[in-house]
Amino acid sequence: MITHISHRYTDQEALEALLGDGKLLDAVSASSSILIQIFSADTSARHLQTVSALVSARLPKATVVGATTVGEVYEGRLLTASTVLGITCFENSTLSVMAMSCRDADARQVGAELGTRISRCSGNIAGVILLATPLSIDAGALLQGIESTAGNFPVFGGGAGDYAAMTHSLVCAGDQQYSQGAVAVVLAGDELHIESRTYLGWRPLSRSMRVTGVDDQLLVKTVDGKPAFDVYRRYLNIPNDENFFLNALEFPFLLERSGELLARVPIAASRDGALKFIADIQEGEHFRIGYGDMDLIINDALHIHRSLADFSPQAIFLYTCGCRRFLMQNDVDLETRPFEDLAPTFGFYTYGEFFSLSNPSLLNSTMVAVGLREGEPKANPNRTPAPQADPQAQSSDPYAHKHTRVVSRLMRFIDAVTAELEASNREITKLSRTDRLTQLVNRIQLDHVLEENLQQALRHATPFSIILMDLDHFKQVNDAHGHLVGDEVLVSTGKILTACTRIADTVGRWGGEEFLIIVPHADLNGAAHLAEKLRTEIEAHAFPPVGKITASFGITNFVPGDDVVKMIMRADVALYAAKHGGRNRVELAST
């Protein structure tokens, strides 16, 4: 059996009174281990040390850890500018605490060492609480290190905060405080069961954008080739000043990775327009600006409540992102308060959440809910069941919480309009790049692909070739059979070219009866082989009602010093030579 008592610290006398309370002392005497978590708005090391020392003096066998916060969760409710203590007594489980500084060490190496220490802990490990300082260390690298050496254990916890000052946060273990470090608590026991869940509740708000420049995965330099900060300036009119984090907090990057939607919150913007994050973003990833959908958040919370109700927890720990508090304001308790109806609920608002069922991840904008129980599930007559209806609908005040619904519906409207605009833009883009008759790419898109291949060749010496093709005596087809038949011949030719080329190749209509094939990663001989194949396929095809038609080909490849104009001119000269050499043939350009 797990017994949990939460305490809001006001002064030493009140805390000493709690530590001498008979109910607590009975739980302590019946326990095999005691976990005390201190979550504090006060970021001074002295304050944490004072509270920790007082607790340790009265309960010397307790494991004491803590973190600074951006909001405290006490009995399922938000507190601010407070210090709260969670005293959790385990009847049959064991605890192991380990803490490491990252001041003079690589975060990944520290994580690997933590993972090694975790894996050496005795007993049946049920889960690991992790607290860290993501303002001063690469918490993502820390988790990668843990993953590289630890076993397959659930990890949950949060990053220490400092009420949006973004300058200084602390974690502690016993009498040791760390402004750059991490603390892990291993919970083990044959009768200990842990159920951890997380959810996001943010929806995409903007069009899709691409990360084009990253430094060490925590500094995004460019988005779609422009300074990353332009995203917030252009779409949200957020200035690049000392309040940037508070203004951008509700609008994270939303990106999909391994099938999961992740949020990444920028914590600062540099003068040159780069954005700093506490969780990794990879170059080439696509994202949208996100915004919290409060209806979705509440509905997801209800789902987690019901899941934990089936688990029958004896204590619940919450690690929830500070941006959720910022978004929901006075309604934030709608998300957290119902957990208290299941079991004593305690936690804090974070700068990033740690969560895993297998591989640890650093999350943003989420809430991590952790239910703990010793023994088999039992019905608790003193607890009410998890709510089965929208808690917003339970208020007798018709105006209560209505701003959340208004904002949610506005976000749905924007989402729908954005989807419609994107669909229209995709269609417009397709039309602008596609030849209307043959449905091949047109001259505009061919120019774009040529330039891309040229830049690749210039940067990385990547070979590529082009094939310029012209149907022989095509004017006679139009004169003898009419332009409609001529159009059908062009369409059929496009299909032959597409069928005989690779996915990587680009086939387009250059103009009139001329076609251009761009062949990446191919030298002159490779392109000549492909052109000969195309020539024979066209020659063998019967074009009703015309019959047989032939084509001539001019080929060239990239050589140093080339630009698009030079390559096209060489291919055109080669095509001219094929025409005047008897047609129905392939000519290679001389370089």
Q: Under DSSP, is residue 123 helix (H, G, I), strand (E, B) or coil?
A: coil
Preceding peptide of 545 cis, ω within 30° = yes
SS3 content of the chain, % helix, strand, coil (to 5): 35, 30, 30
Q: Is 335 a catalytic residue?
A: no
Report the C-alpha gap between 374 and 313 in whole angstroms.
9
CA distances from 191 to 59, 141, 308 (A): 24, 32, 17
C-beta of residue 221 within 8 angstroms of C-beta of residue 227: yes
Report the C-alpha gap between 14 and 257 in whole angstroms.
48
Residue with tokens 């000392």: 242
Pairing of strands 125-132, 181-188: antiparallel
For the chain, the farthest-separated pair of C-alpha atoms sits apart, in whole angstroms, at 107
C-beta of residue 362 within 8 angstroms of C-beta of residue 134: yes
Beta strands in 492-565 (DSSP E): 506-511, 514-520, 542-543, 547-548, 551-557
Q: Which long-range contacts (CB under 8 A, 24 or more apart) does 177-180 make?
A: 177/45, 177/48, 177/49, 178/99, 178/100, 178/101, 178/102, 178/133, 179/45, 179/103, 179/133, 179/136, 180/101, 180/102, 180/103, 180/133, 180/136, 180/137
Helix H or strand E encompassing 56? helix 45-58
Q: Under DSSP, is residue 101 helix (H, G, I), strand (E, B) or coil?
A: strand
Pairing of strands 353-356, 155-159: antiparallel
Q: Which of 562, 569, 538, 542 is closest to 552 using CA atoms?
A: 538
Helix H or strand E encompassing 188? strand 181-188
Quickly list H helices, 78-158: 107-119, 139-149
Q: Under DSSP, is residue 17 helix (H, G, I), strand (E, B) or coil?
A: helix
Q: Give the torsion through C-alpha atoms of 217, 219, 225, 231, to 10 deg.
A: 120
Residue from 147, 250, 353, 513 carrying the catalytic annotation: 513
CA-CA-CA-CA torsion sign (36, 37, 42, 43): positive
CA distances from 382 to 24, 45, 344, 385 (A): 18, 39, 11, 10
CA atoms within 13 A on the CB side of 263: 30
Active centre residues (catalytic): 513
